[in-house]
Amino acid sequence: MIAFLSGTVAALAPDAAVIEVGGVGMAVQCTPNTLSTLRLGRPARLHTSLVVREDSLTLYGFADDDERQVFELLQTASGVGPRLAQAMLAVHTPDALRRAVATADEKALTAVPGIGKKGAQKLLLELKDRLGAPVGAPAVGAPVTQGWRDQLHAALIGLGYATREADEAVAAVTPQAEAAGGTPQVGQLLKAALQTLNRAR
């Protein structure tokens, strides 16, 4: 079990980072929130979870150990694999997920790509006694709803784009975010922002 990585950020992508540890580049799958804390060429420490499959070894990285623990707990629910667990953490903070489960908030879970109404109901039942109580976080979705622009901007800067380019990309995807309503999905907005930047170059 690889519990954490500590090294230099060698590369950043929309959903992953490469951390150089002792001359070896370790590819780590990350949420947009975690990626936004990383800077190319700077030291980083990520809490990690290794997912072993017959044909692959995939390392998932998190800014803090609470997020890693929630990632692993989510996968104890039937039908939740690492990709879906990561998508849930891309949309909601760990505490927002605890609050959603504690208050049986189906809408918060269906805001995650890949989770429909029936899936949300099933998850609420299965996760009810597993995630624990929220630690006094704001209402579900509030941190992301209020701060998606900041999160997206920070993620683009972390990927090496100039402040002006990040500003323009955030402005370009704002209509998409507002049209979606509810909780903007930062991961999808990041992909859309990168597409607009690639077209502009």
- Give residue-wise pLDDT tens across range 95-104: 889 999 989 8
Residue with more model confidence, 140 or 28: 28
pLDDT of residue 123: 92
pLDDT of residue 201: 54
**pLDDT (tens digit, 9 = 90+) per residue, 60-84?**
999 999 999 999 999 999 889 999 9
pTM equals 0.66
pLDDT of residue 72: 94
Residue ranges per structural domain of the chain: 4-62, 73-127, 142-200
Could you tell me which CATH number the domain at 142-200 has?
Answer: 1.10.8
CATH class for the domain made up of 4-62: mainly beta
pLDDT band at 8 (very low <50, low <70, confident <90, very high): very high
pLDDT of residue 9: 96
DSSP string, 92-138: S-HHHHHHHHHTT-HHHHHTSTT--HHHHHHHHHHHTTTS----S--
Q: At what angle do helices 142-158 and 163-180 cross, to 10 degrees?
A: 150
Q: What is the CATH superfamily name and number for domain 73-127?
A: 5' to 3' exonuclease, C-terminal subdomain (1.10.150.20)
